Amino acid sequence: MSDSAETTNNGAPSIQKSASTSQILQESLVDVITALTGGTIQTSEQLSVVNTTLLASGGYNYVWLVKVKAPGHDGEGKRIHQFVYRIPKADALLPDQLENEVAWLTYVSQHTSIPVPKVYAYSSKQPHSFVALEYIDGQPLGSAYKDCTADQQETLCTEIANIIVQMAELRFDKIGGLLPSHELGPTVEGVKLFKGRDKFHSHAHYNIGPYSTTKDYILAYYDKEICYYSHASNDDIDWSLFYPADVETVSRDLEDAGDERQALFERKEAFVEELNREREKVAQDEEGFGKEMPFVLCHGDFEGRNVLVREGRVVAVIDWEFAGSFPLCEMLAGKPLTIVEYTDRCEEDEEAEKDAEWCNKIIDKVEEFAIEREWSTENIDLLLGQGNEILDRAREEMFPTI
């Protein structure tokens, strides 16, 4: 594997890969190609890396396209095999984040017709964590929508609606993420990672899941925020949240607080007390939750950039690392997905209008599918509603109103 990435077709810059990246690939190459070719590879001497191309550098992963020369499925001759190779960044929530994605990819492929990449091999052991996936040729819908004909838009909206309903028909007995064994485990959510919250992701600090009830889930998220604001380092906390609203110049760094430093500490302590009061109110509420909603598969990042299309058809749904079993009302929470990637401020109004057009069509088709499949009126209302206010509060970063 070379030490530098080639420039991708989409203009991503070349970068230097660390030595560990090359090492991780070399150590896993035999397992990956064995899975890809069906068991014809015996030693690494049979393989040679042709090139590696950086496809993306996201918030939590480096994503590479790797091309390898190796014997074919029959063990004869040599051909080029390619696969997607993802290496988690330091901010990833390991091992849960990687294992959650692998588990949902395999679960979805077994229980639905939703197209997802095959998992060839993975390791969640640090520091050599990786996942090797099938490469699927397609464009993100977030950019490809511009070239879609009216017929293709109709087809894509139908397929996306079908995907949403299939996910909503996968039912679970708890709220949680998924383990490689396909048992429910801790939830994996972005709000567990923000600003150093990942350091408290363990049962020693709060209940990380799975959760038997929605109320348990909400209480755990109050516990998470209370723990975070009580014990996080001064460097991790965003101190700009604790300045009065009438202060024009604020900083997230405590070092810049000057004479305001003690007041910031006092406001943070007051906020922790406020969270404790809110939590107690939720804990004492015996009527606010009522009948438990169904727990269903939610993708966690179901947007146009994670739906790959080719020739007007959906060919893959990718990036399942934040997927999980959640209450049905969280599936759409008023909007199925953001189709359009906003690329230019000058075009924002036009793009927002296009986005709304796609989303409205998808919602209409979701309702049609749910009715055809004889869903109850109650569940259709949960799916198409605006979510749950208490639940939405718990699933976001909590910060004070000052």
CATH of the domain at 115: 3.30.200.20
Residues 72 and 192 both lie in one domain: no
Do the beta carbons of residue 105 and residue 116 sit within 8 Å?
yes
Gap between the Cα atoms of 327 and 297, Å rounded: 9
Strands 139-140 and 177-178, bridge-based pairing:
unpaired
| Together in a domain, 92 and 182 | no
pLDDT band at residue 75 using 50, 70 and 90 as cut-offs: low
Please tell me the predicted confidence (pLDDT) of residue 73: 63
113 and 183 belong to one structural domain: no
Question: What's the pTM value of the predicted model, to 2 decimals?
Answer: 0.90
Average pLDDT score over residue span 28-33: 91
Average pLDDT over residues 297-313: 95
128 and 275 co-located in one domain: no
Q: Which domain holds residue 206?
A: 139-402
Task: For the chain, give the mean pLDDT.
Answer: 89
Q: Say which residue, 59 or 273, is predicted with more confidence.
A: 273
Rounded CA-CA distance 309/279 in Å is 44
Residue 4 is assigned to a structural domain of this protein: no
* Rounded mean pLDDT, 82-92: 93
State how far Cα 101 lies from the chain centre.
8
More reliable by pLDDT, 241 or 127: 241
For residues 8 and 64, give the distance between their C-alpha atoms in angstroms, rounded to a whole number. Answer: 10
Same domain? For 178 and 259 the reply is yes
Question: 98-150, pLDDT tens digit by residue?
Answer: 999 999 999 999 999 999 999 999 999 988 899 999 999 999 999 899 899 99
Kindly state whether residues 191 and 80 are assigned to the same domain.
no
Percent of the chain topping pLDDT 70: 91
Is 126 found in the same domain as 172? no
Domain boundary among 84, 118, 134: 134
Cα 400 from Cα 162, distance rounded (Å): 40
For residue range 248-259, list pLDDT tens digits in order.
888 999 989 888
The total number of structural domains in the chain stands at 2
Query: What is the model's pLDDT at position 19?
Result: 38
Co-location of 338 and 354 in the same domain: yes
Distances (CA, A) of 352 to 58, 159, 303, 338, 401: 24, 22, 14, 9, 29
Does residue 70 carry a pLDDT above 90?
no
User: Is residue 14's pLDDT more than 50?
Assistant: no
User: Which of 109, 134, 159 is the last residue before a domain boundary?
Assistant: 134
Q: Is residue 122 part of a domain?
A: yes
User: Domain for residue 3, yes or no?
Assistant: no
DSSP letter at 87? E
Check whether residue 198 and residue 51 sit in a common domain.
Answer: no
Domain co-membership, 266 together with 354: yes
Which helix (DSSP H) or strand (DSSP E) does residue 191 occupy? none
Model confidence band, residue 13 (pLDDT cutoffs 50, 70, 90): very low
- Please check the confidence at residue 225 and state whether its pLDDT lies above 60: yes
Query: Is residue 66 helix, strand or coil?
Result: strand
Alpha helices in 242-312 (DSSP H): 261-284
Where is average pLDDT lowest: 23-32, 68-77, 291-300, 310-319? Answer: 68-77
Assigned domain for 11 exists: no
By C-alpha distance, which of 294, 256, 309 is closest to 376? 294
Residue 7 lies in a domain: no
Joined tokens for residue 155: 């087809």
What's the pLDDT at 303? 93
CA distance 82 to 117: 13
**Dihedral angle computed from the Cα positions of residues 250, 253, 256 and 262, in that order, rounded to the nearest 10 degrees:** 90
Q: Does residue 9 lie in a domain region?
A: no
CB-based contacts of 126, cutoff 8 Å, min separation 6: 94, 95
Say whether both 248 and 300 belong to one domain.
Answer: yes
97 shares a domain with 143: no
Last residue of a domain, one of 85, 107, 134: 134
Examine residue 128 and state whether it is found in any structural domain, yes or no. yes
pLDDT of residue 76: 64
Residue 5 forms part of a structural domain? no
